[in-house]
Amino acid sequence: MLGPAQILTERDPEIDAYVARPAAPGVARTAGVVVFHELFGLTTHVRAVTDRLAATGRIAIAPNLHHRTDPALELAHDDAGRTRGFALLDDLTRDGVLADADRAIAHLRALGCERIALLGLSMGGHVAYLTATQRDDLAAVVVAYGGWIPTTDIPLSRPEPTVTLTPSITARMLLLVAGADHAVDPAQSAAVEQALQEHGIDHAAVTYPTAQHGFLCEQRATYDPDAARDAWSRIDALLASEL
């Protein structure tokens, strides 16, 4: 893995995204990862995740999904931030996030990435799953505690629940489920896994029985170092295999 001094980072204003890429000479840059953020926006946590992926020798990009409503948004991981983030969910549409995903993927292609994966966190997990149903050029997709995929509770999952689009997925999928999730009830995760099974999608689903929503984020009270360590080992293995 590359050190912090061996990656280059920037906030690209042209596509409103955070980009991290290897700077070390001789590092292959033919693989890329799109990171979809939580409802809190492009936080330091999301940027750290993007940096971590770049440190493994890949180009990583995190598009700002809130750029249409609040481009500078970076909410705290607290009750006030959560309330504001949930309010902004009504402003996110399928067409909008898919356009953002397309732009991010096109940016990676322009930088020479031949193999591309997605990593979505919470709300971003929904966006990653939705994007996977619309494209046949993705190598792998990681959904970390993604919500509302089998419901119609938010615009991203309307008019039909996103889970009903599962048959179109061609990427290899990894679901990371928090067993003690306060935001995504077990029935939602079970419905998503059942759909993947029924339609023969290559996937793995890992449940961390005592982990809570947001267990990958060191800034949250729900951070679970053991679950995070195992989850990252699985993410790294999947990306090494597919990218």
- Mean pLDDT, residues 32-52: 97
- The residue whose two tokens read 């979809």 is 36
> Across 45-105, where does the E strand assignment appear?
59-63
For the chain, give the percent of residues with pLDDT over 90: 91
Looking at the structure of the chain, the number of domains it has is 1
Structural domain boundaries enclosing 175? 4-242
- Contact partners, residue 223, CB within 8 Å, separation at least 6: 214, 215, 216, 217
Domain CATH code at residue 230: 3.40.50.1820
Write the DSSP string, 97-110. HHHHHHHHHHHHHH
The model's pLDDT over 148-168, given as tens digits with 9 standing for 90+, comes to 999 999 999 999 999 999 999
pLDDT band at 197 (very low <50, low <70, confident <90, very high): very high
Q: What pTM did the predictor assign?
A: 0.96
